[in-house]
Structure 1
Amino acid sequence: MNYVIHNGIVNFIWGIADDVLRDVYVRGKYRDVILPMTVIRRLDAILEPSKQAVLQMKEQLDAAGIVNQHAALCQAAKEAFYNDSPYTLGDLKSRAKLQQLKADFEAYLDGFSPNVQEILDKFKFRNQIPTLIEADILGDLIEKYLDKKINLAPKPVLDMEGNELLPALDNHAMGTIFEELIRRFNEENNEEAGEHFTPRDVVKLMANLIFLPIANEIESGTYLVYDGACGTGGMLTVAEERLKELAKGLGKEVSIHLFGQEVQPETYAISKADLLLKGEGAEAENMKYGSTLSSDAFPSQEFDFMLSNPPYGKSYKIDLERLGGKKHMQDPRFLLQHNGDPEYQMITRSSDGQLMFLVNKLSKMKHSTKLGSRIAEVHNGSSLFTGDAGGGESNIRRWIMENDWLEAIIALPENMFYNTGIATYIWLLSNRKAANRKGKVQLIDATQWYLPLRKNLGKKNCEFTEEHINKICELILTPKETQQSKIFPNEAFGYWKVVVERPLRLAVDLSPARLDKFAEACVKAKDKGSAGLAKRVAGSLGPGPHLDYNLFMDRCSVFAKLDAVKLTAKRKTWLRDNLCDHHEQAEPVIKKVHKPGKVQADPLYGLYDCEVEGKPRVVEYEPDSSLRDTEQVPLLEEGGVKAFIEREVLPYTPDAWVDDAKTKIGYEVSFTRHFYKPASMRTLEEIKADIYALEQETEGLLEQIVGEAN
């Protein structure tokens, strides 16, 4: 493609906005007119040669009473779209009366096929017509797009003698021009750009990451590429071009089908229009509108390659409600069986749904093909570590690691994207890992590999060069340990979250003052039995304080039977709350007593040998919730939880134990832990030299100030 001509066309169209729309629209709204009008003019130019054939076919179909006319009209137009109105844009240029122009222009728009109608509807272009008519600029706008200085048609413009005045604009060139216009408008609206526009250098890197490792295994055939947050479709088209390039280099013939879903109406319209402008009408039908999370457009489809830059840090509360909420979730993508759990939930907090997009992709992997599926997805740092063990985020990471799907995570430089300066990462996944990658995850720190931009684009102030992209890809193709590349076993990111308990120790106060206060509370609670029971026990044991709560409860049980007072669980709690205090020297409160043989004593898990009424028993102690703590024990800890607790906990709290029923497995990834480089401390000599230098600078200054004051 001739880039001089390409840039000339882009500049001309960009100039239309300034020439025609300046006094009517603010700059941020130029795109609402220019993008749909560019689409309309290109489609008009493509359809112009077949216009009469379409009108004749329309007339024949109407006369025959045929209702479903789409296929026949597309065939007449020789495209995946058509316009069966009697007009072209050239016909409308001569309309002098505004109302006639408005009526004819609307009739012209109504003549487009349904796939183009959907694009116009999502652009909300018809909403602009009253403004254009009222400002009397619709005619000027049409005339600008028909200017002889540019050619948006797929055929060249010739002079009377057949010489080429303006070259033809093929579908690829037109698509590139359209994408350049989108990019410029994104720069004009920096605060919105990153929501649907991923920098081309990052997209190129992602395409290389999913294709290069299996480039030599690409065979002639059909491949499906998917983006569940496709925005303007840039990732899909770059991936398509890269796959075709690699296949061609290997002498293979591949057929590539693109699939995407987008929830923002305008960006969806752009993605569909872009494919139509490139002559890929069939692929345009695979672009679907709606929320990927709550309204999956491809529920039973599997894909060979998937890549996305999903929204991060963005609430998906509405989607979660539509899915039934966490309690009533039925979507098999997010609720499945794993590790023996029949309802293994992978539902993140409603405030951030980025990992849900990754789970959606993983549910669409091919498991029966040689290449399987490869995925590249952009995330911010929260996907690496947010969420406690057993929570949605951690469960997703665990599911991925334990299935051995994660190949690598690449840390990108800050300020790589248009709308955020925070740290971002590319996750690379595959269900067909190479032999040297099985059971391992590679972390690559590419935060220092970038070229500063001369001018910021929103918050983007740097970019990858070809050299940087090649350097990252080389580390992926030949994984090795370097300062920027670390390789770990999957288990290195896993841990047991264990709950460490300590026994409840209570002292019982049966002093007269405490009993009087308790009696008053019993009167208010209309509890006649408890006050008398406490008084009887006090007469037997004395005022205390008694450091054996278990003995106190035994005596309460005895006297309750004698006095025909029911010692219910509620009454036991009432006695404990009103007559007992925490005491470090008290005996542990016994929760449960087991007969020997049925349960084996194991102090690590809170089971102790003990004598109860002179008989050997195994007891469980009541845990003290105020002393409860948690520990994270690495899965690779030598000796496991037992060794960790014996080394890190029991020397300081010998009465502690682990509640095994509450132990959960979690996974998190910490780049800081593996790549942090502490700043070197200054030597004492350097500090001393600085102090002396400061003294010399201030020498005599105090005397001067004091002297001036006097």
Structure 2
Amino acid sequence: MSLDTQRLQPIINFIWTVADDVLINKYLENQYQDVILPMTVLRRLDLALEPTKETVLKTYNEFRGKLDNLSGLLTSAQHGSGLAFYNTSPYTMKKLLDDPRNIDANFLDYLNGFSENVQDIISKFKFRHQLETFERTNITFSLIEKFCNPKVELSPDKISPMAMGYMFEDLIRRFNEKTNAAAGRHFTPREIIELMTHLVYLPVKDKIQQGTFLVYDPCAGSGAMLTQSKHFATNPEGEIKSKASFHLYGQENTGEMYATCKSDMLLKNEDPDKIKFGSTLSEYGFDPELKFNFMLTNPPYGTSWKQDIDNLNVGTGKKIEIKDRRFNLKIKNFKGELEEKCLTSRSNDGQLMFMLHMLSKMKDPKDGGSRIASVHNGSALFTGDAGSSESGVRQYILENDLLECIIQLPNDMFYNTGITTYIWLLTNVKEERRKGKVQLINASSEEFYQKMRKNLGDKRVEFKPEHIQLIQDMYFAFEENEYSKIFDNEDFGFYQITVHQPEKDENSKIITDSKGKPKSDNSLKDTENVPMKESIADYFKREVLPFAPDAWYDKTKMKVGYEIPFSKHFYQYIPLRNLETIAQEIFDIEKETDGLLKEIVE
């Protein structure tokens, strides 16, 4: 499902002018979005309620005081809005303009008329904090008038939730660029979401035609992954055409994004209570026993989760011991024995903690299992030495045969970063040919993207439908070629051994302990990573002893490590040019410079 972003630009541009026309000299530039974003959402909700306004008011005036709870009536199709929300104020945004002298009081009445689920949205935007400034600077009328302009076409009938998410993210990106602030972490280009949804749903296309399925994003942002993935699965003109019920769940800890996401869930008649506010890692908003069929996310990477650690940590001192079963998992030690370990990544990057969180929410394979698509940067592949939590997360994933495929994306795909990113595909219901295997797909070269005519922040390249199809075809083919490699799970594991060499005195005599064993020279101590498939003894004999004949390693103190050196597996050696070629080029240059080089050398 493609999104015509060019069609949205005039609307975005007009909304952008509101800041320069109305807010300038009233607000600081870094405060513009505190007004523009909630006003955009409110106008969108306002337009959705306009057709049923009179019906809602009639029902409200007839039954208030007679029934304790009017919500059921006011949201019904016959007597109310036919949506999951309503407004009992006599005003709409357009009607507010009919009484300019009392517009501030009436606007407050209008806001207070919204149902509780919209009150939560207004609260998360902290929008009521702005009303005093509106009144003091006398901009309320101008602001509302701008948003009622026909050029601001925000009706949900004409602007889909996916389009709305794009518009919001583009506005935030512009605000952040204007104030030199870092762009939001929740921006995932729509074509990447499209690729993710294809690879999550299409492999189980035949199994999701009927029934009920739960879809979850623990870092929901504007909700685009949720709404776009459901549309892909249920679109009657799409590839799947599922008639099943898909229930969308999400959690978001940024107030403005939570409010945006929840507002579009309301407009889509999704259950707004399935969108939770707060940190997924330390304030998970759903029943711990709830499991999901599909999970798609782009978690924050390179972002601190120290506050979550502080909220979860019940240990003392420097040792982190989180008593949370999401992060306490059994992995094998070097003896092959299962040991429970608290896996907590370093405090300045919590991306792998979201991975563990999602793994804990997978349905049992007996109940159909789960499929996950998650975007990560390179550190998730290799950061952390043997024995570290990061390595432990990879170990748990690979030992339990949960990793299906990793796809390297082109650089410069995201609005806020040009770094290399990867899509991880995980499942606990692998098809037979993929069991015990991992596929790596390198989609970073020019064959897989198109350069954009105009950059959007740091985003300089994009996927077209043919690029998505190309990647998709390689995934389903599950064959090796220039861009696709297939490995055993164990290919990414290794044993880390510490290599010791004896201490020697000034006469080069080996120093021994009381038992006559050589003492280890700390200055010569080193480590070796032995591939898991290889005999440690054979490796040591081949790679160490020829260079250090007296070396040894302690067989009782080895560590298990896992890393996925993606670039190494796709490295292409470019041979050095021979001397004759280089010499000929020099002579050619000399001729071009009429012997100048010869004069300089002589």
Unmatched 5+ stretches in structure 2: none
Distance across 1 between alignment mates of 2:309 and 2:341 = 17
2:37 to 24, 35, 38: 35
Matching residue's letter, 2:165? E
Deviations 1:432-455 (A, max 9, x none): 111111111111111102111112
Distance across 2 between alignment mates of 1:464 and 1:656 = 53
Which residue does the alignment assign to 2:533? 636
Q: Does structure 2 conserve the Cα–Cα contact (< 8 Å) formed by 1:226 and 1:305? A: yes
Deviations 1:456-515 (A, max 9, x none): 11111111111111111111111101011111111111100012223445x6xxxxxxxx
Q: Does structure 2 conserve the Cα–Cα contact (< 8 Å) formed by 1:194 and 1:417? A: no
Which residue does the alignment assign to 1:375? 372
- 2:111 aligned with 1:122: no
Matching residue's letter, 2:202? L
Which residue does the alignment assign to 2:545? 650
1:327 to 301, 311, 320: 320
Q: Does structure 2 conserve the Cα–Cα contact (< 8 Å) formed by 1:590 and 1:622? A: no
Which residue does the alignment assign to 1:351? 348
Give the superposition deviation at 1:689.
Answer: 2.1
Give the superposition deviation at 1:686.
Answer: 2.4
Unmatched 5+ stretches in structure 1: 154-168, 508-581, 592-618, 706-710
Q: Does structure 2 conserve the Cα–Cα contact (< 8 Å) formed by 1:194 and 1:420? A: no
Deviations 1:684-705 (A, max 9, x none): 2221123223434555759999
Say if 1:381 and 1:7 are closer, same or farther in 2 by CA, change over 3 A.
Answer: closer
Which residue does the alignment assign to 2:297? 308
* SS in structure 1 of the partner of residue 556 of structure 2: helix
Q: Does structure 2 conserve the Cα–Cα contact (< 8 Å) formed by 1:218 and 1:247? A: no
Which residue does the alignment assign to 2:490? 491
Which residue does the alignment assign to 1:89? 93
Which residue does the alignment assign to 1:239? 229
Deviations 1:192-234 (A, max 9, x none): 4451211111111111111122223323011111111111111
What is the TM-score of this pair, normalised by structure 2? 0.88
Deviations 1:622-648 (A, max 9, x none): 4443332211100111xx111111222
Give the superposition deviation at 1:50.
Answer: 4.1
Say if 1:328 and 1:679 are closer, same or farther in 2 by CA, change over 3 A.
Answer: same
* SS in structure 2 of the partner of residue 243 of structure 1: helix
Which residue does the alignment assign to 1:457? 456
Deviations 1:665-710 (A, max 9, x none): 11101122211123332232221123223434555759999xxxxx
Say if 1:176 and 1:368 are closer, same or farther in 2 by CA, change over 3 A.
Answer: closer
Matching residue's letter, 2:532? L
Give the superposition deviation at 1:128.
Answer: 2.4
Matching residue's letter, 2:320? K
- 2:266 aligned with 1:276: yes
Which residue does the alignment assign to 1:626? 523
Say if 1:58 and 1:359 are closer, same or farther in 2 by CA, change over 3 A.
Answer: same
Matches within 5 A, 1:396-435: 396-435=393-432
* SS in structure 2 of the partner of residue 141 of structure 1: helix
Which residue does the alignment assign to 2:273? 285
Deviations 1:238-282 (A, max 9, x none): 1111111389755641111111111111111111112223x3241
Distance across 1 between alignment mates of 2:160 and 2:41 = 10
Moved more, 290-299 or 48-57: 48-57
2:195 to 199, 205, 224: 205
Distance across 1 between alignment mates of 2:478 and 2:208 = 21
- 2:482 aligned with 1:478: no
Q: Does structure 1 conserve the Cα–Cα contact (< 8 Å) formed by 2:498 and 2:527? A: yes
Provide the identity percentage: 46
Distance across 1 between alignment mates of 2:41 and 2:133 = 19
Say if 1:148 and 1:643 are closer, same or farther in 2 by CA, change over 3 A.
Answer: closer
Which residue does the alignment assign to 1:108? 110
Matching residue's letter, 2:291? E
Root-mean-square deviation (CA, aligned residues, Å) is 2.9
Say if 1:696 and 1:395 are closer, same or farther in 2 by CA, change over 3 A.
Answer: same
Say if 1:11 and 1:645 are closer, same or farther in 2 by CA, change over 3 A.
Answer: closer
Distance across 2 between alignment mates of 1:489 and 1:73 = 58
Distance across 2 between alignment mates of 1:583 and 1:125 = 80
Moved more, 650-659 or 199-208: 650-659
Say if 1:704 and 1:636 are closer, same or farther in 2 by CA, change over 3 A.
Answer: closer
Matches within 5 A, 1:215-254: 215-245=205-235, 252-254=242-244
Matching residue's letter, 1:418? Y
Which residue does the alignment assign to 2:141? 139
2:435 to 438, 441, 448: 438
Say if 1:491 and 1:62 are closer, same or farther in 2 by CA, change over 3 A.
Answer: same
Distance across 2 between alignment mates of 1:649 and 1:357 = 39
- 2:82 aligned with 1:78: yes
Give the superposition deviation at 1:360.
Answer: 0.7
Say if 1:7 and 1:499 are closer, same or farther in 2 by CA, change over 3 A.
Answer: closer
Moved more, 482-491 or 23-32: 23-32
- 2:563 aligned with 1:668: yes
Q: Does structure 2 conserve the Cα–Cα contact (< 8 Å) formed by 1:450 and 1:462? A: yes
Distance across 2 between alignment mates of 1:700 and 1:80 = 84
Matching residue's letter, 1:654? P
* SS in structure 2 of the partner of residue 350 of structure 1: coil
Distance across 1 between alignment mates of 2:542 and 2:141 = 83
Which residue does the alignment assign to 1:214? 204
